Chain A
Amino acid sequence: MALATTNYLTPTGREEAWRFTPLNRLGGLHDSSVSLNDRISLTYQSLPSGVEISEVNASDLPSIATTDDQVNLRVRETVTQVLRLKIANNAELTEPIFLNRKVVGMAPEASRVLIHAGINSHATIVVENTGDAIIAEEIEIKLEAGANLRFITLQEWDSKAVHVARHHAILEKDSTFTSYVVTVGGSVVRILPTVEYRGPGTSADLCGLYFATDGQHLEHRVHVEHAVPNAKSRVNYKGALNGISARSVWIGDVFIKAAAQGTDTYELNRNLLLSDGARADSVPNLEIETGDIVGAGHASTTGRFDDEQLFYLSSRGIPAEEARRLVIRGFFAEIVSKLHLADVEERIMNRIDLELATVNS
């Protein structure tokens, strides 16, 4: 049973970090007067050797990252049992590990996960979120030296789901982290992928895809902090919006601290507005404290369908609707094709077709 929380304030919406988020639709996840259920909600089918999953007392497994995010702090206060996934040192996993969300209802709940990728290990983890739930979540990911982890989260929620999550990755030297955040479902989804570099030779590739239709608020706030020399980051998020009340928010904060010489970073967000009324907020943010870097850049574009592309395809006999479908699949292909999970790729593309076909009046 969670105790009343004392050490944080309920956000009001006036804070910079919350100004885009529809707090009244969060199902109380942010509200200190609403208690959260404490439950481990991720399940798994089978585990290859080299992987171990256990439930650990939260008191024995404190969070490894600092945060001032209010919902994240509530998760830490609420959760008593942490799901810990450990990948052994030097493990080379050829098959992905799937974690599935087991939904039990619409009572607001909290979840904490710690993923530990051992030295020089190689693995892919896929978190699948489906159904309807109101969930606040912290996933912390620690990559030991030389580890290579592909971390994929799929938000294929049903239409009432509320999901507020922070994915925090800590990268020890020479580790490589790749994350894919795919958000196509839910009523309100707010995800904070953050990366903290602890050693040189590290690399983070953060990719995302979202498709918002009427009634959906999909928010992704990427935070990359370069505090050590010779690390690399790439951020590439692509979104589409279809419907008069479709909303998306993308924030890309990249900080290059004075000690981070030799940093190489580029962040990109592209949005396609497929109907009138849809709104995409896109805020790339780059702060540089040293000029001694390899490169730093950012770009953000928000636009409509390219009529010339549609004309070109139609002039070859392809009906307008199918031409739109081809163009939108093409737009997302750059992200989806990198998942290297044939079934998942096909499922996401089909979902994208459905989102596109949603009639907008």
Chain B
Amino acid sequence: MSTLEIKGLHVSVITEEGAKEILRGVDLTIKSGETHAIMGPNGSGKSTLAYSIAGHPKYTITSGTVTLDGADVLAMTVDERAKAGLFLAMQYPVEVPGVSVSNFLRTAVTAIRGEAPKVRTWVGEVKAAMTELSMDPAFAERNVNEGFSGGEKKRHEILQMELLKPKIAILDETDSGLDVDALRIVSEGVNRVKSNQNLGIMLITHYTRILRYIQPDFVHVFAGGRIVEEGGPELAAKLEENGYAEYTTA
């Protein structure tokens, strides 16, 4: 049982006009097996929250704490956060020319597990995970994210999540750019990892569409750099109906 606890998180970025505060006091607790949907309009700071937890150097934490099972996440390097059990599925996965998917996956899994996986079981493990995500085996020989379609990039993110077995995963707009079939495949992948590994999920999205496939336990409305309303799945239905207008025009 793991707990990611975010308390009073304030985050700034440096712009040409100086430091600009994006997150203005975020409080959120996610436990194993729970799915929290973070919903909000564009520019509300949802992605900043995701990248700040993962440790992107662009973001400066000005106050607040983030802990995973009591350990200070903000004191960890980016790779240490992943080793501690955090995973960020990115909205825009980055191309890494000349590095094959298979080499990348093996290097990452070796780093996370602390030892190289046994060759025989590893090949089967990757193959099985790829099959479940309807990925062509030839995919493993392509360079990381290079020339991938939107759907392929997102499947590749979920493939990594399946193999790296995090405790808490942050899915940043995983639904963006997916057609219905891809959305279903990716969502099934997320649900499978969740039930197999008792994963805790922070599901960041703008639209309610993905919530038809991934059932949230909690819905948080994010606006102006903080959570402005919380509820159960019924809150998503209300957002579907009314949009974010009431949160942004206040």
Give A residues with C-beta under 8 Å from B: 306-309, 311-320, 322-323, 326-327, 329-334
Contacts and interface: CB of A to CB of B under 8 A. Distances in A.
B97 A317 contact: no
B79 A312 contact: no
A312 B90 contact: yes
Interface string B136-159: 000000010000000000000000
Contacts of B93: 312
A178 B56 CA distance: 43
A330 B143 contact: yes
Contacts of B77: 314, 319-320
Interface string B166-186: 000000000000000000000
Contacts of A320: 77-79
Chain B contact-residue range equals: 20 to 34
Contacts of A313: 96, 104, 108
Nearest to B112: A317
Contacts, number: 81
Nearest to B54: A315
Contacts of B99: 326-327, 329-330, 333
A202 to B, nearest CB: 29
A326 B82 contact: no
A54 B176 CA distance: 67
- Please classify the interface of chain A as helix (H, G, I), strand (E, B), loop, or mixed, using the class held by over half of its residues: helix
B108 A318 contact: yes
A317 B111 contact: yes
Contacts of A319: 77, 79, 111
B94 A317 contact: no
B79 A326 contact: no
B164 A316 contact: yes
B88 interface: yes
B160 interface: yes
A307 B78 CA distance: 12
A323 B78 CA distance: 11
Contacts of A318: 79, 107-108, 111
13 contacts: A307-B57, A312-B94, A314-B79, A316-B82, A317-B82, A318-B79, A318-B107, A319-B77, A319-B79, A320-B78, A327-B96, A329-B98, A333-B98
B55 interface: yes
Nearest to A310: B78
Nearest to A325: B107
Contacts of A315: 54-55, 78-79, 81-82, 87-88, 90
B226 interface: no
B96 A311 contact: no
B83 interface: yes
Given A319-B111, A322-B107, A330-B143, A314 B97 contact: no
Interface in B73-87: 77-79, 81-83, 87
B108 A316 contact: yes
A312 B51 CA distance: 11
Contacts of B83: 317
Contacts of A316: 79, 82, 104, 108, 111-112, 160, 164
Given A322-B111, A330-B143, A317 B79 contact: yes
B165 to A, nearest CB: 11
A329 B160 CA distance: 21
B57 A334 contact: no
B96 A334 contact: no
Contacts of B82: 314-317
A314 B78 contact: yes
A330 B111 contact: no
A238 B237 CA distance: 54
A143 to B, nearest CB: 30
Nearest to A316: B108
A332 B88 CA distance: 28
B98 A311 contact: no
Nearest to A308: B94
Contacts of A312: 90, 93-94, 96
A89 B96 CA distance: 44
Contacts of A308: 94
B97 to A, nearest CB: 5
Given A317-B82, A327-B99, 9 more contacts: A307-B57, A309-B94, A312-B90, A313-B104, A313-B108, A315-B55, A315-B82, A322-B111, A333-B98
A322 B96 CA distance: 14
B48 to A, nearest CB: 14
A333 B146 CA distance: 14
Contacts of B88: 315
A319 B57 CA distance: 15
Contacts of B98: 329-334
Contacts of A306: 94
Closest 10 CB pairs of A and B: A330-B98, A333-B98, A317-B82, A314-B78, A316-B108, A312-B94, A330-B99, A317-B111, A317-B112, A314-B79
B168 to A, nearest CB: 13
Interface in B98-121: 98-99, 103-104, 107-108, 111-112
B195 to A, nearest CB: 23
Max count, chain A CB within 10 A of own CB: residue among B55, B78, B94: B78
A343 B82 CA distance: 35
A328 to B, nearest CB: 9
